[in-house]
Amino acid sequence: GENVEQHPSTLSVQEGDSAVIKCTYSDSASNYFPWYKQELGKRPQLIIDIRSNVGEKKDQRIAVTLNKTAKHFSLHITETQPEDSAVYFCAAGSNNNDMRFGAGTRLTVKP
């Protein structure tokens, strides 16, 4: 089936630095790209999403960029804080109401 590749699988940054997580997808019908944050033992929570008619979206310290031609999208977190430490999942949704997830990135922000 169609897959979503996510890199890196683990990422460690110093507090205050930026973190970037990248995802690629193969289904050209994908038109919705959410990012979820899952803290240890908790449920995933949507942190930002982008639709295929937009190239970039920003919400305070979090931004997502989408390159439809290259079929990749990225999550950018600036001025990272220890509470940003979690597993982040990207996903790609297509018109047939399917949702494919990346394998996740474990982000550790060191104080």
Partner 1 sequence: KAGVTQTPRYLIKTRGQQVTLSCSPISGHRSVSWYQQTPGQGLQFLFEYFSETQRNKGNFPGRFSGRQFSNSRSEMNVSTLELGDSALYLCASSLAGLLVNEQFFGPGTRLTVL
**Which residues sit at the interface with partner 1, rule CB under 8 A?**
1, 31-32, 34, 43-46, 49, 89, 91, 93-104
Q: In what order do the strands lie in the sheet with 19-25?
A: 4-7, 19-25, 72-77, 62-67, 56-59
Burial 38-58 (b: 16+ CB within 10 A, else e): eeeeeebeebbbbebeeeeee
**In the complex, what is the shortest distance from the CB of residue 52 to partner 1, in angstroms, rounded to a whole number?**
11
Smallest distance from partner 1 to CB 70, Å: 22
Burial class of residue 33 in the structure, from the number of CB atoms within 10 Å of its CB (0-12 exposed, 13-18 middle, 19+ buried): buried
Q: Tell the smallest beta-carbon distance from residue 86 to partner 1 (Å).
A: 14
Of 27 and 80, the one with the shorter C-beta distance to partner 1 is 27
Cβ nearer to partner 1, comparing 80 with 104? 104
Q: Residue 14 or 96: which CB sits closer to partner 1?
A: 96
